[in-house]
């Protein structure tokens, strides 16, 4: 391992990821732990960070994500749309530690009320990697964000809790008895079509997955894929002003982004994909480069 | 306590309720335990029943609910719509016990696929108490049923998982941080109006409750009531063919039925209410009376 110049950190509710960075933005090492901010009190952050990357400290640390929330290590107040992606100059230095740790702020929208923490850094990374990009970025995940960007700024955004709804319904509701572990592309498409064209049918459609499991032995893979399709179709119906007539950049985990790409392409919407972790690192790197006066 | 002639039992996934009945359909005692069928294996049912009402046995026992499911004490196969409410003559006798226990069947619908177990007995009770009733019965609960009845028969029905969705979202999702314990009637009405008139807005609206909690200190009671309103509004949008231009009988717990009554009356739909437990007992009593050749 070469000389570590700084450490990039993605610190969310349930994960802590760190990249040990060389002077020329090369990644020397990548590490992660389960010490998400959700399980830490204020005194737990420094030990968690030291446990993961203590051998490389002290070097500057730049972090994004829920670590900057009110319940995090240090609150980094939201920037308000329309605004540029976060810069190192708006980062908050964590007080009460000998370490040089800075946290990038999240972004809020006053009306309709919405917030993000972490995704703004992925957006910054995507824009840094795709200079001149102008348009819609969708970040599928637990809380999927739909973001309108223009001239390097976040103009507006909305959040759908589709990922969390899918997890709750497929793992904890009565539907869990009907779920497989696999996938059925046709069942997914059927679900998307239904709620995208008739979003009012969602409420009456979910329990059918259970009933069909009991009465017609609906395969578990089809049930799981149709549930995903019904929820994503309802999300697309809700977010139509974002994607209609647009191209959409999907920034997320591969399988989930692919599901969104399939659903959007059935509506004639072209998509491109980028990995969420890659974009987080790109965003942190772009912000750190501002500090160095280097090109990103 | 007078002589117990028979025992009426409502045995659901999470509860066991029993009424000790006299010869003239008077209730001599009412008991309940947490021995729902969900926590019992096949050998656990008789001990659970004896633990609750053993002092009154052996007398005939008539039960309804999930106890008749495939994972229950004895499977009572579904009747298929259109069909009359279940009768004692379609009840299944539980094998392998010295006790005289019969279980009323549930009701299924092939297309769209749907099932009920327990609600059919409440429907039978409501019809027994309201002879000549013809029309829509809505049974709000974990899985709310909308039922079209005519000439004493169940013609068709649909299920919405609104109660379960509300419980999952308000207690286990990120929205739990924003929830109060109380109620806000205006926030409820706002939620219903929104998703009933524009059901496609549901997906983008849920996370706003969290964002408004963070940004504008939305009171927890308003957040909770609006969440309920958004989900019930979406359900009403889904079930419009059932209630539009109809009168609706609501059979459920008082507070939840009142919420549905408020939402429906804002749409000009008149409602009447009946208590779910009362209707369960009325349905079991009507079925038992068939056995005796008595009037219900």
Helices B220-238, B185-197: inter-axial angle, 10-degree rounding: 30
> What pLDDT does B291 receive?
78
The length of chain A, given as a count of residues: 296
Which tokens is B295 given?
A: 């009037």
- Cα(A273)–Cα(A251) distance, integer angstroms: 6
Identity of the residue in A110, A164, A173 whose CB atom sits nearest the CB atom of B173: A164
Closest chain A residue to the Cα of B174, Cα to Cα: A164
Which tokens is A136 given?
A: 């819609």
- Residue numbers in A near B158 (CB within 8 A): 204
Q: Do B204 and A240 touch (CB under 8 A)?
A: no
> What pLDDT does B293 receive?
64
Strands of A213-260 (E only): list them.
Answer: 248-252
Q: Are B138 and B130 in contact (CB under 8 A)?
A: no
* CA–CA min distance B14, chain A (Å): 13
Phi-psi region of B25 (alpha: psi -120 to 50; beta: other; left: phi over 0): left
> What pLDDT does B45 receive?
97
> What pLDDT does A293 receive?
64
Same fold across B6-117 and B160-275: yes
> What pLDDT does A87 receive?
81
Q: In B147-162, which positions are buried (b, 16+ CB within 10 angstroms) versus exposed (e)?
A: bbbeeeebebbbbbbb
**Number of H-type helices and E-type strands within chain A:** 9, 15
Residues whose CB is less than 8 angstroms from the CB of residue B131 and which lie 6 or more positions away in sequence, other chains included: none
- Cα(A266)–Cα(A81) distance, integer angstroms: 31
CB contacts < 8 Å between A and B, how many? 137
Which of A242, A207, A253, A198 shows the shortest CA–CA distance to A226? A207
Q: Do B173 and A168 touch (CB under 8 A)?
A: yes
Average pLDDT, chain A: 94
Q: Do B159 and A211 touch (CB under 8 A)?
A: yes
Which of A274, A245, A246, A292 shows the shortest CA–CA distance to A128? A274
Per-domain residue ranges of chain A: 6-117, 160-275
Task: Note if the bond before A68 is cis, omega within 30 degrees.
Answer: no
> What pLDDT does A23 receive?
87
Identity of the residue in A168, A200, A216 whose CB atom sits nearest the CB atom of B168: A168
**pLDDT < 50 positions in chain A:** 294-296
> What pLDDT does B2 receive?
72
- Residue numbers in A near B202 (CB within 8 A): 199, 202, 234, 238
Identity of the residue in B172, B200, B205 whose CB atom sits nearest the CB atom of A237: B200
As a CATH number, domain B6-117 is 3.30.420.300
Closest chain B residue to the Cα of A13, Cα to Cα: B174
Name which of B115, B162, B207 to mutate to probe chain A: the one with the most chain A Cβ atoms within 10 A of its Cβ: B207
Q: Are A123 and A149 in contact (CB under 8 A)?
A: yes
Identity of the residue in B168, B203, B235 whose CB atom sits nearest the CB atom of A238: B203
- Residue numbers in A near B210 (CB within 8 A): 115
> What pLDDT does A295 receive?
43
> What pLDDT does B1 receive?
62
Q: Do A234 and B113 touch (CB under 8 A)?
A: no
> What pLDDT does A132 receive?
87
Q: Do B114 and A211 touch (CB under 8 A)?
A: yes
3-state secondary structure of A78: coil
Phi-psi region of B98 (alpha: psi -120 to 50; beta: other; left: phi over 0): alpha
Residues whose CB is less than 8 angstroms from the CB of residue A234 and which lie 6 or more positions away in sequence, other chains included: A162, A195, A196, A199, A202, B200, B202, B203
Starting at the edge strand found earlier in the chain, the sheet holding A144-150 runs A83-84, A153-160, A144-150, A135-139, A248-252, A271-275
Q: Do B211 and A240 touch (CB under 8 A)?
A: no
- Indicate the class that CATH gives domain A160-275: alpha beta
> What pLDDT does A89 receive?
87
Identity of the residue in A113, A174, A234 whose CB atom sits nearest the CB atom of B202: A234
> What pLDDT does A294 receive?
47
> What pLDDT does A88 receive?
85
Task: Note if the bond before B243 is cis, omega within 30 degrees.
Answer: no
Q: Are B103 and B76 in contact (CB under 8 A)?
A: yes
Residues facing residue A133 across a β-bridge: none
**pLDDT < 70 positions in chain B:** 1, 293-296
- Residue numbers in B near A165 (CB within 8 A): 169, 173
Closest chain A residue to the Cα of B196, Cα to Cα: A200
**Number of H-type helices and E-type strands within chain B:** 9, 15
Helices B254-265, B220-238: inter-axial angle, 10-degree rounding: 70
């Amino acid at each position: 391992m070469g000389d570590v110049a700084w450490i990039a950190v993605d610190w969310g509710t349930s994960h802590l990821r760190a990249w040990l960075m060389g002077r020329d933005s090369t990644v020397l090492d990548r590490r992660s732990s389960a010490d998400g901010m959700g399980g830490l009190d204020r005194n737990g952050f420094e030990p968690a960070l030291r446990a993961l990357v203590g051998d490389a400290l002290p070097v500057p640390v730049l972090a994004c994500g829920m670590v900057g929330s009110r319940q995090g290590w240090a609150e980094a107040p939201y920037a308000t749309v329309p605004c540029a992606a976060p810069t190192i100059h708006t980062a908050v230095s964590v007080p009460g530690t000998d370490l040089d740790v800075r946290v990038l702020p999240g972004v809020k929208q006053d009306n309709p009320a919405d917030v993000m923490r972490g995704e703004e850094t992925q957006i910054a990374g995507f824009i840094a990697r795709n200079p001149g990009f102008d348009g819609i970025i969708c970040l599928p995940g637990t809380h999927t964000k739909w973001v309108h960007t223009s001239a390097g700024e976040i103009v507006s955004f909305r959040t759908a809790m589709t990922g969390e709804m899918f997890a709750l319904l497929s793992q904890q509701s009565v539907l869990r008895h009907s779920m497989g572990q696999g996938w059925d592309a046709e069942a997914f498409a059927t679900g998307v079509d239904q709620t995208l064209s008739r979003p009012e049918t969602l409420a009456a459609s979910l329990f059918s997955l259970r009933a069909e499991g009991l009465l017609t032995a609906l395969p578990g893979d089809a049930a799981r894929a149709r549930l995903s399709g019904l929820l994503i179709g309802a999300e697309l119906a809700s977010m139509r002003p974002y994607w209609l007539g647009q191209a959409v950049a999907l920034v997320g985990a591969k399988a989930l982004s692919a599901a969104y790409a399939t659903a959007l392409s059935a509506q004639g919407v072209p998509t491109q994909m980028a990995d969420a972790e890659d974009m987080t690192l790109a965003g942190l790197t772009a912000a750190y480069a501002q500090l160095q006066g280097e090109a990103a």
